[in-house]
Structure 1
Amino acid sequence: MDFLPLYFQLQGKPCVMVGGGTIALRKAILLQKSGAIINIVARKVLPELRQLAESTEGTIRIGDYSVADIEGMFLVVAATDDEALNKQVSDDAHQRQLPVNVVDSPELCSVILPAIIDRSPLVIAVSSGGKSPVLARMLRSKIESLVPAAYGRLANLVGGFRDKVKLSYKTVDERKNFWEEVLNGPIAEMVFAGKDTVANQMLSQRLDAEPAEMIKGEVYLVGAGPGDPDLLTFRALRLMQKADVVLYDRLVADQIIELTRRDAERIYVGKKRSNHAVPQEDINQMLVKLAKEGKRVLRLKGGDPFIFGRGGEEIEQLASHNIPFQVVPGVTAASGCSTYAGIPLTHRDYAQSVRFITGHLKNGTADLPWDELVHTNQTLVFYMGLVGLPIICQKLIEYGRNPETPIALIQQGTTEQQRVLVSNLREMPATAVKEQVRAPTLLIIGEIVTLREKLAWFEH
């Protein structure tokens, strides 16, 4: 290990920056965030840097560097393009045993300013010891995506209860087990959901309750998107890795299911038209039962759970039993499939509105407001419309839509198996039969479909 990672307490401490350009400004911003008093020494100083130093009640001295400039400082930073000057600052600081950082010259440094993930008071630092700052920044970006911003608020919540926990749990192991339970359970999830006050109340109750009273599970209603795993949200991935039990639909891709915890129990509750593996009412009851057993339950649904996903029915049942739950939106099929097909849903020249419609016609009837669906300046998106495709096309023509109106049928959108058929209202039903189209599919109807010829990108 070339450098020992240390965290400096610089709040209210004087630091000196030798240099007044853009490099110095980047380093000074970090010092300001730590609460340091920033003093600048340079022949020229950027206005932004001057303003930043003054905001910390630091000084600006215009002129050449002098060894007196580093006397009494807690940290010295050399950020000039003059190699000889940078080395002089480094030598002077080393002679006085002052921590010194020389930008882009690790051999002259006694301290390195790392790439930082700031979730204050939680701070994560990544350093390559000056060997590859770009690599350190790349790793920082990866970690940024894995650590939600709310972790800082979670750290503050925990900090406020440390003394009380020490009184309640006498041994180190007891306290460790307690905090692991809190940080991996519903209390932390309340913070991630932005409900800090609720989390505070739950933590207080947890400390006052007997362990047996706290056995209570939680349900995560997560939208898995239209198929491509890369379209999952960060929150979805995090909850997928926490769940003890996974209830998943037919439309959830195998690659997405594989992203759940390896040791989680997986239960298939998929539904096809007129063939429900598990009736919806049984799914609702199963969610309640598993949560009451103290399990973290992931309800993984294709697309978005609140757009033709019956998510509202499921959480309504959970709410009636006082089961904690979270809902994570997913990329709905209309957005995902249209994008991957190269068909915008709105466009100033073609469509100023878009309507999402269920094509799963109840009891085989066509009870839809067809007179509202024939306006030419809107895009129609039919979910689950394959079986009802002939009726949909027939009714739109019957109510006045031009039979030549373009229509796109997208099968298994956003996946490697994606197929896109483009036709018109008159011919699409026969085309779908000829091409032996299979669910899942999505229908997009409107003049905007003509843009696909220019904008299709995914197949290429």
Structure 2
Amino acid sequence: MQYFPIFLDTTNLSCLVVGAGEVAARKVELLLKSKANITVVAPWACDTVQGLASENKITFHEKSYQESDLDNIQMVFVATNNSETNIQVHAHATAKKILVNVVDNTPLCQFITPSIVDRSPITIAISSGGVAPVLLRYLRQKLETVIPHKVSLLGQFSEKFRELVKQKLGTVTQRRYFWEDVLDGDIAENIYQGKVEQAEQKFLEKLENPDAELTQGEVYLVGAGPGDPELLTFKALRLMQKADVVVYDRLVSPEILEMVRRDAEKIYVGKAKSDHAVPQEQINDLLARKALEGNRVVRLKGGDPFIFGRGGEEIETLIDQGVNFQVVPAITAASGAASYCGIPLTHRDHSKSVVFATGHLKDNSINLNWQGLAQQDQTIVFYMGLTGLPIICEKLVEHGLSSDTPAAMVQSATTPRQKVVTGTLSNIQKIAEEAGIRPPTLIIVGSVVSLHKKLNWYDEAK
């Protein structure tokens, strides 16, 4: 290990930056996240450095570097485009036993700045020793996706109660087990949600009786999005990977289901045409029962829980039974499908509004405000409309839309199984039948469909 990783206390640290171009400005902005006193020396400065100086965030001396600038300095960054100046500052700083970093010149660096994931007071620093900066950026991106942004609140909470836990629990092992339970349970989730008082109450109760088991779990209504696992939110993925029970429906893609915790109990409650595997009322009760048994339950729903996902009905039951819950929104199927087949739902030249409607048949009819739907300059997206397609086309034409109005059907949107067919209200049913379109499918109606061939980026990317 050539570079020994340390964290410096910057409370009274005086830092000099030699140079004031954009490269130097990036170092200054990084230093400003600390408590260091920052002085910049250069004969000129870029707009960023000048702005920081005018706001009194740094001290800027508009002059050439002199050795005396190192007086009372503990750390130096050198970022000029003059190699002679860089070498000179390095030599002076080294002679004075001052830590020095010459940007982009590793042999002249006594220390290097790592790639940082900042969730203060939690700070993660990673380094490649200057040999693989692109790989370093890649690893940092990975860390950013798995570390909750609000983990800083958890760090502050831990700091607040650290001494109290040490007083109450006498051994390191006891404290470790206690903190592991706290950080992986409902107390941490309360903190992430900003329910600090509730978290503190649970924490103190647990500290008084650390061996007691919590008797109630929680339900997370998680939107799985349109199908592509890369479209999941960070929060959705985090909750999926800590769930004890996962209740999922037919629209959740296999790729997304693979991302839940391996040992979680998985319960399928999917619904298909005329085949409701589990009635909605039973699903509602199942979620509440599993949570009341002490489980963390993820209700994984295709698309967004509050857009034709019946999430509202499920949380009504949870409220009635006193079960805690969270709702994690997602990219709805309409947005995902439209984006992945090159059909913008709104467009200045084609559509001034968009409306979502259900195409679900009831008693062989679809009870919708057809007059309101059949408007020019409007995009209509029908969910669950494959069976009712003949009625949808008939009613839209009957209420004023031209039979030549463009229409599209998108099957298994955003996944490798995506299939798109386009036509008009007069022939889309025949085209869909010939193409073998099957659920899950969305129907998009409106002038924007005419842009599909020109903007169809996803098929070209396959």
TM-score range, shorter chain: over 0.9
Task: Determine the C-alpha separation between the residues in 1 that align with 2:40 and 2:394.
Answer: 76
Q: 2:360 touches 2:366 (CA, 8 Å); kept in 1?
A: no
Q: CA deviation at 1:298?
A: 1.2
Give the 3 Å change call, closer, same or farther, for CA 353–61 of structure 1 in structure 2: closer
Task: Determine the C-alpha separation between the residues in 2 that align with 1:373 and 1:45.
Answer: 59
Q: 1:32 touches 1:56 (CA, 8 Å); kept in 2?
A: no
Task: Determine the C-alpha separation between the residues in 2 that align with 1:51 and 1:209.
Answer: 54
Aligned to 1:189: 189
Task: Determine the C-alpha separation between the residues in 2 that align with 1:350 and 1:58.
Answer: 51
Is 1:401 aligned to 2:385, yes or no?
A: no
| Deviation digits for residues 207-260 of structure 1 (CA, Å, limit 9, x no counterpart) | 355643623211111111111112111111111111111111111111110111
AA in 1 matched with 2:112: I
Give the 3 Å change call, closer, same or farther, for CA 92–378 of structure 1 in structure 2: same
Q: 1:32 touches 1:52 (CA, 8 Å); kept in 2?
A: no
Aligned to 1:446: 446
Aligned to 1:28: 28
Aligned to 1:273: 273
Aligned to 1:97: 97
Q: 2:15 touches 2:36 (CA, 8 Å); kept in 1?
A: yes
Give the 3 Å change call, closer, same or farther, for CA 83–287 of structure 1 in structure 2: same
AA in 2 matched with 1:139: L
| Deviation digits for residues 290-313 of structure 1 (CA, Å, limit 9, x no counterpart) | 111211111111111111111111
Aligned to 2:128: 128
Task: Determine the C-alpha separation between the residues in 2 that align with 1:184 and 1:436.
Answer: 47
Q: Secondary structure of the equivalent of 1:219? A: strand
Aligned to 1:328: 328
Aligned to 1:145: 145
Q: 2:318 touches 2:324 (CA, 8 Å); kept in 1?
A: yes
Q: Secondary structure of the equivalent of 1:282? A: helix
AA in 2 matched with 1:223: G
Give the 3 Å change call, closer, same or farther, for CA 395–20 of structure 1 in structure 2: closer
Task: Determine the C-alpha separation between the residues in 2 that align with 1:50 and 1:336.
Answer: 44
Between stretches 148-157 and 422-431, larger displacement belongs to: 422-431
Task: Determine the C-alpha separation between the residues in 2 that align with 1:53 and 1:114.
Answer: 25
Task: Determine the C-alpha separation between the residues in 2 that align with 1:53 and 1:342.
Answer: 47
Give the 3 Å change call, closer, same or farther, for CA 140–317 of structure 1 in structure 2: same
Aligned to 2:170: 170
Map 1:385-396 onto structure 2 (within 5 A). Answer: 385-396=385-396
Is 1:68 aligned to 2:68, yes or no?
A: yes
Q: Secondary structure of the equivalent of 2:382? A: strand
Task: Determine the C-alpha separation between the residues in 1 that align with 2:459 and 2:45.
Answer: 52
Is 1:235 aligned to 2:235, yes or no?
A: yes
Instruction: Give unmatched runs, 5+ long, in structure 2.
Output: none
Is 1:417 aligned to 2:417, yes or no?
A: yes
Give the 3 Å change call, closer, same or farther, for CA 52–35 of structure 1 in structure 2: farther
Task: Determine the C-alpha separation between the residues in 1 that align with 2:29 and 2:131.
Answer: 23
Between stretches 262-271 and 62-71, larger displacement belongs to: 62-71
Give the 3 Å change call, closer, same or farther, for CA 447–312 of structure 1 in structure 2: same
Task: Determine the C-alpha separation between the residues in 2 that align with 1:50 and 1:402.
Answer: 61
Aligned residues: 460
Aligned to 1:19: 19
Give the 3 Å change call, closer, same or farther, for CA 62–409 of structure 1 in structure 2: closer
Q: CA deviation at 1:51?
A: 4.9
Task: Determine the C-alpha separation between the residues in 1 that align with 2:107 and 2:53.
Answer: 27
AA in 2 matched with 1:165: V
Task: Determine the C-alpha separation between the residues in 2 that align with 1:51 and 1:341.
Answer: 44
Q: Secondary structure of the equivalent of 2:32? A: helix
Aligned to 1:45: 45
Give the 3 Å change call, closer, same or farther, for CA 45–331 of structure 1 in structure 2: closer
AA in 2 matched with 1:419: K
Q: TM-score, normalised by structure 1?
A: 0.94
Q: TM-score, normalised by structure 2?
A: 0.94
AA in 1 matched with 2:82: D
Aligned to 2:261: 261
Q: 2:115 touches 2:125 (CA, 8 Å); kept in 1?
A: yes
Map 1:294-309 onto structure 2 (within 5 A). Answer: 294-309=294-309
AA in 1 matched with 2:181: E
Q: Secondary structure of the equivalent of 2:284? A: helix
Between stretches 75-84 and 187-196, larger displacement belongs to: 187-196
Q: 2:225 touches 2:303 (CA, 8 Å); kept in 1?
A: yes
Q: 1:37 touches 1:53 (CA, 8 Å); kept in 2?
A: no
AA in 1 matched with 2:315: I
Is 1:154 aligned to 2:163, yes or no?
A: no
Map 1:360-399 onto structure 2 (within 5 A). Answer: 360-399=360-399
| Deviation digits for residues 372-391 of structure 1 (CA, Å, limit 9, x no counterpart) | 12111211111100111111
Give the 3 Å change call, closer, same or farther, for CA 271–60 of structure 1 in structure 2: closer
Aligned to 1:179: 179
Q: Secondary structure of the equivalent of 2:225? A: coil
Give the 3 Å change call, closer, same or farther, for CA 175–46 of structure 1 in structure 2: same
Q: Secondary structure of the equivalent of 2:123? A: strand
Q: CA deviation at 1:104?
A: 1.3
Q: 1:373 touches 1:396 (CA, 8 Å); kept in 2?
A: yes
Aligned to 2:216: 216
Give the 3 Å change call, closer, same or farther, for CA 389–75 of structure 1 in structure 2: same
| Deviation digits for residues 174-207 of structure 1 (CA, Å, limit 9, x no counterpart) | 1111111111112222232344444344434433
Give the 3 Å change call, closer, same or farther, for CA 435–35 of structure 1 in structure 2: same
Q: CA deviation at 1:362?
A: 2.3
Identity of aligned pairs, percent?
A: 50
Instruction: Give unmatched runs, 5+ long, in structure 1.
Output: none
| Deviation digits for residues 376-414 of structure 1 (CA, Å, limit 9, x no counterpart) | 121111110011111111222222322222211111121
